[in-house]
Structure 1
Amino acid sequence: MSATNPSGGPLVDGPADPEHDPRASYALEPDDVRRLTGRVLASGGETTPVSSPLNGQPLAHVPQSSTADVRDAVARARRAQETWARTPVAERAAVLLRLHDLVLDRQAEICDLVGLESGKARKDAFLEVAHVALTARYYARTAEDHLATRRVPGMFPGLTHVELNRVPKGVVGIISPWNYPFTMALCDGLPALAAGNAVVIKPDAQTMLTALLGAELLEQAGLPRDLWQVVAGPGKDIGPPLIEGSDYICFTGSTATGRLIASQCADRLIGCSLELGGKNPLLVLRDADLEKAAEGATRAAFSNAGQLCVSTERFYVADQVYDRFVERFVARTEAMTLGSTLDWSVDMGPLISQQQLDTVTTHVEDAVSKGARLLTGGRPRPDLGPYFYEPTILEGVTPEMTCFGHETFGPVVALYRFHDEADAVARANQGDYGLNASIYSQDGRRARQIAREIRCGTVNINEGFGATFGTLAAPMGGMRQSGMGRRQGSEGILRYTETQSVGTQRGLRIGPSFGLDQEQYAAVMTASLRVLKKLGRA
C-alpha cells in the first residue's frame, strides 16, 4: 500500500516526515468563510465547528438555525416561489445553463472545498463538478418538454377536450448528505427550480461550506436569492419544522432516518423521495474481460473510500475466473495511493469521521475474528491522517459476520464464488436493499437479461455505477429498503409537480339530452361504449 503527501512524494509506514507531513495545514481565507456562512439563515448566534477529515484542523464555525429560522426560511421561499412559478420555463432554464458554465469555470475552487470538507480524492471531487454540470444542462434543455401541457383523448372523441398541466408543488425541502456534498446539495434542487418551485435545504453539518458555495453560484447564475434558502443544525431539531413547512421532501441518507421522514411526511399527506442504504452486488461472469472487471471493481468499491450509496460491497465471481480475477483485483487495490492532499496524486482519501472509521474497523475485526480471510488491507492508517483506513478485501465472509448483510459504507468488500448464474442472481438479491448492481460480461445481451432479474433500481453492465449515474435521462433510485422515488430523468422533475387535469366539454353535455330519460341515456351510453371498443379507442 502506497501513499502520497501534499508534495506528491512517497510515504513509508511509521512516523511522518515533518517536512512532508500529510496532515499539513490547508487554510480557508477568513473572508471566504464569512461570505459563505453568512448565507445560513440563523438568528441566534449559536455556531458549531467544522474540521477537515484530511488533518483534523478547524475549517469554520457554522451558524445554527433555530426552529423559528426554519419557518422564516420556508416563508421567504414561499413568497419568492409565487413569482417564480409565473416565470417562463425558458427563463428558469437560462439560470441553469449559466450555472453549468460557472461550475465548470470554478471547478478548481469547488474541488478544493469538497476535498477540505469531505476528504475525498480530487478525482472523486471532480465527478461532483461534472455531475452538477450534467444535471444543470439536462434539465435546462428538457424542462420545457417535461413540463409541457399535454392533451389526452377525451371521453367523447371530438366533444371532450382534456389537457394535463404540471403545477409546481411550492416549497421543496431537501436534506442532503455529506458523502457527495456538492452534487447532492444541488442535483435534487435544480429540477425543483426548473419546475417552478422554491427550495429550502438542510445540508449535513460536516459539509455546509460546499453546499453554501453551491447556493452562491446559483445566485451568481441569476437565481433570486430567496428561492434557495439554506438552514443548518441537527436533523432532530430542524428536520421536523422543515417537513412541517414544505410541500415535498427529498432526502438522501440512511434507511432508518428515511423511514422516520416518510412517516412524518405521511402525517402531513405530502410526498417524498428517499434514496437510502445499499449493500450493492457486483457479478463477474465467466466470460468477463478480467482486466476491465478488475479496474472497474476497484472504482466501484473504493471511490470516495467506499462512502457512496451505489458503491459495491459484495462481489460474486464465477468459479472459472475467480482466481485470475482476484489476482488482478488485489494487485490493483494494493497499487492505490492514499494521502491527504488536494492535488490529483492520490486515489483515495480518508473516511469522513471517527464514527465512520470505528464502523469500518469494527466490521473488519468482527469478520476476521469469525474466520474471514484478509486478502489485502485491514488496517487504520493514522500515519496518513486521523480517519484513514486501507482499502480492504475479504474472503470467506459468512452470514454471522456483521459485514455480510449490513452496509459498511467504507472501503471494505467481500468476495464470493459462484458456479451457477441463477444462484449468483439469487444471492445478489439477498437482503433488504436494492439500490445498485453491476454485471461484467462480454455478452451484453445476456448481461441485460440477467439485469432484469436483479432487484435493484439501477444495474450497470461493465461499469460500477457511472453508466447510470452519469446518464441524466436515466431515473435513479432504490427498490425495497433502498428507498422510494427517483432522481434524474423525467421522474426527477415530475416528482416536484402536481398533475392538473382540465376538461372542456363541447356540444353535447354528459347526461341525458334530446328528451332522453336516465334509462334511455344509459342504453345510448352502453351502445356508444361498445362502438368505441370496436374502434380501438382507449
Structure 2
Amino acid sequence: MSLDHATRTVALPPSLSPARIKRLTARIAAGPDATEVTTTVPYTGNPLATLPTSTPDDVEAAFARARTAQSLWAAMPVARRKAILLRFHDLLLQRQDEVLDLVQAENGKTRRDAFLEVTDIAIATRYYARSAARLLAPKRRRGAIPILTHTTELHHPKGVVAVISPWNYPLSMGAGDAIPALLAGNAVVQKPDTQTALTALWALDLMHEAGLPSGVWQMVIGRGSSIGTALMDNADYLMFTGSTASGRRIARDAGERLIGASLELGGKNPMIVLDDADIDRAADGAVSACFSSTGQLCVSIERMYVAEAIRDEFVAAFVARTKAMNIGTAYDYSTDVGCLTNRSQLDTVTAHVEDAVAKGATVLAGGRARPDLGPLFYEPTILTGVTPEMTLYDHETFGPVVSIYPFTEIDEAVERANASAYGLNASVWTRDGAKGRAVAARVHAGTVNVNDAYAAAWGSVDSPMGGMGDSGLGRRHGADGMLKYTEPQTIAHQRLLGFDPPAGLSQSAWASTLTTLLGGMKNVGAR
C-alpha cells in the first residue's frame, strides 16, 4: 500500500475542548481523592483525557443510589420512559458531530465507521422505545383448565443491571445494552472501557438532557481486577461484551450468585463465496467484512472460503480494492481505514502476521505497520497459504487481517467454516438467494448474512443477535434483548372448580372424569 493512499494525522477537532471533557468526566462515580488515569489519542499517542477511577466503595455507593432511583423509575409509566428515550434518539441525531469526534479520538476508527454506531443506536433506541409497551405488557396465557383457569404472564425489572462494555464500539456498546435495560424499568451501573469512557459518558450526559432521572444510569471507571468483584457482588444481572476468557469467569461467578448474565464474546468469523457469486459485489462486501473499524469488530470476517472456480478472479478484485484503500486520520469522511486502538492490538496483529509469514503464508496485500502515519496504524492485510500450525489459523486476531482458503464443494466449505470453537457471525455470497439461505442455515453461528458482511443481521434489531459455542451466551436485540432484563412471573387464578373432586364425587370418579376430559381435548385439537 503506497503513500498515495494515505492521509497523515491531524489535530483534535475543536469540539473536544478541555471544558467539554471535564464536564463529561464529572459524571464518573468516583470520590474526590480518586486515583487518576490518562487516556491517549490512538492516531497520535498524545494525551486525551484524565479520568478519576472508581474504587470498590464507589461502586457500592453507585449501586445504592441506583436502587433508590430504580424503584421510582420502575413505577414510571412505560409511556414516559419511552418519551425520554425518543428525545434521546432525536438529540443523538442532532448532535452527532460531537460524538463522531469523540469516537474517532478515543478509538481511532474512521468517521464512516463512527457514523455507523450513531445509526445503530438510533435504530435500537427507536425499536425498543416503540416496542417496550408491547413486550412488557401483561399477556394472557392458556390456563390449566379452559375457562376455569385465568393465567397471566408479567415481566418485572431485574433491579440494577451491571453493564461492562468494550472499547471497540464505544457508542454502540456504550449505550446499546443500557437502552433496553432502562426501558424495562431497571437502573444501570456501567463500567465502560477506560480508553473509550468519554463516549459512554457523552451518551449518559445526553440521556440526562433527554430527561432521565438522576441515579438511574451511572458510570464507574476502573480495571476489572479492581472493581469487577464489586460489580458482580451488587448486580441483579450482568451484561458483558469482551473476551471469551473473561466471559467464562463472569459466567462462573454469576452462577455462584444465581444471577443471570448475557455474554457476547470472541469470534473467528467465516465468509463463504460460492461459485455463482457476483464477484464485484462480493469483493466490495469483503472489504467491509474484513476491514471496517480496522478489523476491531466482533462480527468481522477473519476466514474466507472461496470457490476454486472463481478464486483467482475474486482474489484479484479483492486485493485491488484493498490496496486502493485510503489509510490515515481525518475527522471527516475522507479515509477508508483508521488505526488500531491500543498497543496490545498492534502487537497481536503484528505477531500473528509475522508468525504466519515465517511459517510459509503469502501476503497478497498489506502485512506491515505504518509508523509514518501514527503509532498504531497497520495496513489491511490479505494472506493465503495459512495452515493449522500458524497462530492466526484458529485464534482471533481482532485486526485488519484475513486469510483466504479455496474449496471445491459446498459441503467442504460449510465443514471448514464450522471447524471452530467460535460461532458468532458468518457471511455467504451467491446469486441464488434460496441456496444462500440454505447454506447459511448449516453454518454454526448466531447470525449469518447472505450477500452482506454483518450489517444486515446486526441491523435487523427485531431479531436476536448473539453467539454459539465460545462466542457467548444470551442474546441482544429482539424481544430477548429486553426481556432478559426482566423477571417473568406467572399469576394463575383458578375459578369455580379446582383440581380436587367436587363435593360428593369420589376421587376415582373424578379421575375418570378428568381422563375423559383430557382425551376429548386432544381429539378436538386443543393445545
Q: Which runs of 5+ in 1 are unaligned?
A: 5-9, 12-19
Q: For the aligned residues, what is the CA RMSD? A: 1.2
Report matched runs for 1:293-308 at 5 Å: 293-308=282-297
Match of 1:467, as an amino acid?
A
**Change beyond 3 A, Cα 1:35–1:24:** closer
Match of 2:147, as an amino acid?
G
Show the counterpart of 2:398. Answer: 409
Match of 2:319 among 330, 334, 344: 330
Q: Quote the offset at 1:146 in angstroms.
A: 1.0
Q: Quote the offset at 1:90 in angstroms.
A: 1.1
Q: Quote the offset at 1:510 in angstroms.
A: 2.2
- Give aligned pairs, total: 525
**Change beyond 3 A, Cα 1:456–1:508:** same
| CA distance in structure 1 between the partners assigned to 2:173 and 2:88 by the alignment | 15
Q: Quote the offset at 1:74 in angstroms.
A: 0.8
Match of 1:333, as an amino acid?
T
| CA distance in structure 2 between the partners assigned to 1:165 and 1:504 by the alignment | 14
Matched, 1:264 2:264: no
Show the counterpart of 2:93. Answer: 104
Match of 1:129 among 111, 118, 122: 118
- The alignment's TM-score, normalised by the length of structure 1, stands at 0.96
Match of 1:510, as an amino acid?
F
Show the counterpart of 2:515. Answer: 526
Match of 2:9, as an amino acid?
P
Q: Which moved more, 1:522-531 or 1:99-108?
A: 522-531
| CA distance in structure 2 between the partners assigned to 1:89 and 1:25 by the alignment | 40
Tell me if structure 2 keeps the 8 A contact 1:433–1:482. Answer: yes
What SS is found at the alignment partner of 2:490? strand
Tell me if structure 2 keeps the 8 A contact 1:3–1:339. Answer: no
Matched, 1:453 2:451: no
Tell me if structure 1 keeps the 8 A contact 2:8–2:328. Answer: no
Match of 1:382, as an amino acid?
P
Show the counterpart of 2:9. Answer: 22
What is the CA deviation profile of residues 94-150 of structure 1, one whole-angstrom value per residue up to 9, with x for unaligned ones? 111111101100111110000000010000000011101011100111111111111
Tell me if structure 2 keeps the 8 A contact 1:2–1:338. Answer: no
| CA distance in structure 2 between the partners assigned to 1:130 and 1:425 by the alignment | 32
Q: Quote the offset at 1:2 in angstroms.
A: 4.7
Match of 1:198, as an amino acid?
A
What SS is found at the alignment partner of 2:239? strand
Match of 2:298 among 303, 309, 326: 309
| CA distance in structure 2 between the partners assigned to 1:343 and 1:140 by the alignment | 31
Match of 1:418 among 407, 419, 422: 407
Tell me if structure 2 keeps the 8 A contact 1:40–1:63. Answer: yes
Show the counterpart of 1:190. Answer: 179
| CA distance in structure 1 between the partners assigned to 2:8 and 2:489 by the alignment | 61
Match of 1:364 among 330, 343, 353: 353
Q: Quote the offset at 1:3 in angstroms.
A: 5.4
What SS is found at the alignment partner of 1:368? helix
What SS is found at the alignment partner of 1:437? strand
| CA distance in structure 2 between the partners assigned to 1:179 and 1:26 by the alignment | 21
Match of 2:187, as an amino acid?
A
| CA distance in structure 2 between the partners assigned to 1:96 and 1:288 by the alignment | 41
Tell me if structure 1 keeps the 8 A contact 2:156–2:488. Answer: yes
Show the counterpart of 2:73. Answer: 84
What is the CA deviation profile of residues 221-277 of structure 1, one whole-angstrom value per residue up to 9, with x for unaligned ones? 111121001000001111111111111100001000000000110010000110000
What is the CA deviation profile of residues 413-441 of structure 1, one whole-angstrom value per residue up to 9, with x for unaligned ones? 00000000000000000110000000010
Match of 1:455, as an amino acid?
H
Show the counterpart of 1:469. Answer: 458
Match of 1:128, as an amino acid?
E
Matched, 1:240 2:229: yes
Q: Quote the offset at 1:525 in angstroms.
A: 2.1
| CA distance in structure 1 between the partners assigned to 2:190 and 2:204 by the alignment | 10
| CA distance in structure 2 between the partners assigned to 1:2 and 1:145 by the alignment | 54
| CA distance in structure 1 between the partners assigned to 2:182 and 2:3 by the alignment | 42
Matched, 1:230 2:219: yes
Q: Quote the offset at 1:522 in angstroms.
A: 2.4
Match of 2:22, as an amino acid?
R
Match of 1:132, as an amino acid?
I
Match of 1:400, as an amino acid?
E
Show the counterpart of 2:420. Answer: 431
Match of 1:99, as an amino acid?
F
Match of 1:273 among 240, 246, 262: 262
Matched, 1:481 2:473: no
Match of 1:352, as an amino acid?
T
Show the counterpart of 2:142. Answer: 153
Tell me if structure 2 keeps the 8 A contact 1:119–1:350. Answer: yes
Show the counterpart of 2:155. Answer: 166
| CA distance in structure 2 between the partners assigned to 1:81 and 1:195 by the alignment | 11
| CA distance in structure 2 between the partners assigned to 1:166 and 1:477 by the alignment | 22
Tell me if structure 1 keeps the 8 A contact 2:13–2:101. Answer: no
Match of 1:375, as an amino acid?
L
Identity across matched positions, percent: 53
Q: Quote the offset at 1:25 in angstroms.
A: 5.1
Tell me if structure 1 keeps the 8 A contact 2:466–2:475. Answer: yes
What is the CA deviation profile of residues 385-444 of structure 1, one whole-angstrom value per residue up to 9, with x for unaligned ones? 000000000000000000000000000000000000000000000110000000010000
Tell me if structure 2 keeps the 8 A contact 1:25–1:55. Answer: no
| CA distance in structure 1 between the partners assigned to 2:459 and 2:512 by the alignment | 56
Q: Quote the offset at 1:156 in angstroms.
A: 1.2
Q: Which runs of 5+ in 2 are unaligned?
A: none
Tell me if structure 2 keeps the 8 A contact 1:282–1:312. Answer: yes
**Change beyond 3 A, Cα 1:193–1:25:** closer
Match of 1:36, as an amino acid?
L
- The alignment's TM-score, normalised by the length of structure 2, stands at 0.98
Match of 1:30, as an amino acid?
P
Tell me if structure 1 keeps the 8 A contact 2:8–2:329. Answer: no
| CA distance in structure 2 between the partners assigned to 1:520 and 1:465 by the alignment | 62
Match of 2:74, as an amino acid?
A
What SS is found at the alignment partner of 2:153? strand
Tell me if structure 1 keeps the 8 A contact 2:161–2:239. Answer: yes
**Change beyond 3 A, Cα 1:161–1:88:** same
Show the counterpart of 2:37. Answer: 48
Q: Quote the offset at 1:536 in angstroms.
A: 1.6
